[in-house]
Structure 1
Amino acid sequence: MYLQFWNLKERPFENTPDPKFLYHSAQHEEGLSRLLYVVREGKGAGLLTGTYGCGKTLLSRALSRELEGDIFKVAYITNPRLTDTEMLKTILHLLGGSQIPQGKGEILIALEKILSSNARDGKKTVVVVDEAHAIEDPLLFEEIRLLLNYQTDDSFLLTLLLLGQDELKDKVAQIKQLDQRLALRFHLAALRQEEAAGYVNHRLVIAGAKNEIFDEGALAMVFHRSGGIPRRINQICDMSLLTAMSHKSSKVTEPMVHEAVESLDK
C-alpha cells in the first residue's frame, strides 16, 4: 500500500523468515557461525533458544541457505506437535524416502539406510526441529535423542538442531542423554538500541530504500516500544510507514511511531 510512496520495491517489515532480510548483529553472526560449525564438523546436536520473535526461525533459514548444495541433506520440521511415529515418518520423507513404511520398526530401518547412504556418498544429514519447545510428549524427545545413536565408529550419521523459546532449555536438561550430547547452546537475546536502529535501516535498504526514512527520534521510539524484539519492531515499523504516509511526511518521526503503536495496541 505504501511501497510507491516510499519508493520501495517490496515490503520491508514482513514477519516472514526471508533470509535476505537477516540482519547480522553481533549475536546473530555468532549464532549462525556456531550453527555452521556444529553442522560442518558433524557434531551430534545443537540447541538454539530465544525469546519469542527474536529471529530464531530466520536464523535457521539463513543456515539452510548456507547448506544448500550437494553436500548437505536437511530435514526441516516446522510443526513438532506430532507423535513419535509421525515425526520419524516426516523426517524420512524430507530426507528423500520414497515409500514410507507404516510400522515404527520399518521406518527406523529405512531411516538408517538413508543416513548410511548419505554418509557413504560424503553427504551430511541435518535434522532441524523448529518450535521444539512446543513438544509436550517426553517420548518424542526420547525418540529424537535416539536418532543420535545412528553413528559410525568415529562420527554421527546426522546432526540434530533444536530451536525454541527459553523453556526448551529446561525440557532438554531433563533428558540427560540428550543434554550431554549438545555441542552447542546458544541464546538469542533482544537487540540493543544501536542494533535495533541498524536492523530497521538494513531492512529498508534491502527493500529498496535510497534514503533514511526513520529519523533518530523515531528509531529511539521504535526501540523503546518494541523492547528490541525483531518481530515487534517489524509490526511497529510497518504501521509507522503507513502512518507517516497518511501525514504525507517525507520522514517517519517519533510522534508518528507513537501514533502507530497506539493504533496497534487498541
Structure 2
Amino acid sequence: MYEQYWGLKEKPFENTPDPKFFYNSSQHEEALARMLYTVKEQKGAGLLTGVYGCGKTLLARALLKELQKDVYKVAIINNPKLDEIEMLRMIAYNLGLSNVPERKSDLLVKIENLLKENLMDGKKTVIIIDEAHTIEDKNIFEEIRLLLNFQLEDKFLLTILLLGQPELKEKIENIKQLNQRIAMRYYLSNLSQKETQEYIAHRLSVAEAKYNPFLTDAVEIIYQYSGGIPRKINHICDTALLAGMGSGIKQIDKNFVKEVIESFSL
C-alpha cells in the first residue's frame, strides 16, 4: 500500500518468517550456528527459547535454508497442541509417510523404519517443533524422549529441535530423562538499541529502499517501546510508514513515532 510512496520494492516489516529478511545479529548468528552443529553432528536434541516475537520461527526458516534438501529430511510441527498419537501421526506425515497407521505401536515401527531408510539413503532426519511451550500433554514430551531412543551404532537416527517461549525450559527440566538428552541450549535475548537500528536498516535494504526514513531519535523511541523485540519493532515501523504516507512526510522522527504509538495504541 505504501511501497511506492517510500520507494520500496516490497513491505519491509511484515511479521512473517521470511528468511530473506533474516537479520544476523551476533546472538542470532550464534543460535543458528549451534542449531546447525546440533543437526549436522546428529547430537540428538536442541532447545531454543526466547520471548514471543524474538525471531525463533525465522531462525528455524534460516536453518532450513542452510540445510541441503538432498541431504536432510525435515518435518516442521507448527502447532504442537496435540495428543501423543496425533503428534506421532503429524511427524510421520510431515516426514513423507503415506498410509499413516492409527495404532501407536505401528506408528513407531513405521517411523523407525523410515529413519533407517533415510540413513541408508545418506539422509539425516530432523524434526523441528515450534511453539513447543504450548504442549500441555506431558506424554508428548515422553514420546519425544522415546523417539531419541532410535539409534544405530551410538548415532541418533534423528535430531529434534524444540523452539518455544522461556517456560519451555522449565517444562523440559522437570522431565529428567528428556532434559539429559538436550545437547544444545540457547536463549535468544532481545535486540540492543544498536542492533535495533541495524535491524531496521537491514530490512529496509532487503526491500530495496533508496534511503532510511527513520531518524536516529526515532529509532531510540522504537527501541524504547518495543523492548528490542523484532515482532514489535516490525509493527511500529510498518504502522509508522503507513501513517507517514498519510501525513505526506519523507522522514520519520521521534515525535512522529510517539504520535503513531499513541494513536494506534501500539
Both proteins in one fold, TM over 0.5 = yes
Deviation of 1:154 (Å): 2.2
Q: Counterparts of 1:224 and 1:84 in 2: how far apart (Å)? A: 42
Amino acid at match of 2:110: A
Amino acid at match of 1:226: S
Q: How does 1:192-211 map to 2 (within 5 A)?
A: 192-211=192-211
Deviation of 1:68 (Å): 3.7
Q: Secondary structure at the match of 1:190?
A: coil
- Is 1:180 equivalent to 2:197 in the alignment? no
Amino acid at match of 1:211: Y
Q: Counterparts of 2:110 and 2:204 in 1: how far apart (Å)? A: 46
**Paired residue for 1:114?**
114
Structure 1 gap segments, 5+ residues each: none
Q: Counterparts of 1:133 and 1:263 in 2: how far apart (Å)? A: 33
Amino acid at match of 1:159: T
Q: Counterparts of 2:139 and 2:60 in 1: how far apart (Å)? A: 25
- Is 1:16 equivalent to 2:16 in the alignment? yes
Q: Counterparts of 2:77 and 2:65 in 1: how far apart (Å)? A: 15
Amino acid at match of 2:223: F
- CA displacement 1:46-99 (0-9 Å, x = unmatched): 000001110000001110111142000000000000110011111111111011
Deviation of 1:250 (Å): 1.3
Q: Counterparts of 1:166 and 1:2 in 2: how far apart (Å)? A: 36
Q: Counterparts of 2:231 and 2:26 in 1: how far apart (Å)? A: 18
Deviation of 1:211 (Å): 1.1
**Paired residue for 1:160?**
160
Q: Give me the TM-score of the superposition, normalised by structure 1.
A: 0.98
Q: Counterparts of 1:17 and 1:237 in 2: how far apart (Å)? A: 17
Q: Counterparts of 1:115 and 1:225 in 2: how far apart (Å)? A: 47
Deviation of 1:242 (Å): 1.3
Q: Give me the TM-score of the superposition, normalised by structure 2.
A: 0.98
**Paired residue for 2:216?**
216
**Paired residue for 1:232?**
232
- Is 1:169 equivalent to 2:169 in the alignment? yes
Amino acid at match of 2:45: A
Q: Counterparts of 1:19 and 1:223 in 2: how far apart (Å)? A: 22
Percentage of identical aligned residues = 55
- Is 1:3 equivalent to 2:3 in the alignment? yes
Q: Counterparts of 1:113 and 1:95 in 2: how far apart (Å)? A: 12
Amino acid at match of 1:97: L
Q: Secondary structure at the match of 1:149?
A: coil
Assess if the C-alpha contact under 8 Å between 1:243 and 1:256 holds in 2.
Answer: no
Assess if the C-alpha contact under 8 Å between 1:54 and 1:189 holds in 2.
Answer: yes
Runs of 4+ residues over 6 Å off in structure 1? none
Deviation of 1:247 (Å): 2.0
Q: Counterparts of 1:64 and 1:85 in 2: how far apart (Å)? A: 26
**Paired residue for 1:263?**
263
- CA displacement 1:194-246 (0-9 Å, x = unmatched): 00000011001111102121111111111011110100000000011112212
Q: How does 1:25-40 map to 2 (within 5 A)?
A: 25-40=25-40
Q: Secondary structure at the match of 2:152?
A: coil
- CA displacement 1:103-157 (0-9 Å, x = unmatched): 1111111101100001111111000000000001111110111100000012000
- Is 1:61 equivalent to 2:61 in the alignment? yes
Q: How does 1:98-113 map to 2 (within 5 A)?
A: 98-113=98-113
- Is 1:254 equivalent to 2:254 in the alignment? yes
Root-mean-square deviation (CA, aligned residues, Å) is 0.9
Q: Counterparts of 2:265 and 2:144 in 1: how far apart (Å)? A: 40
Amino acid at match of 1:195: E
Q: Counterparts of 1:78 and 1:34 in 2: how far apart (Å)? A: 21
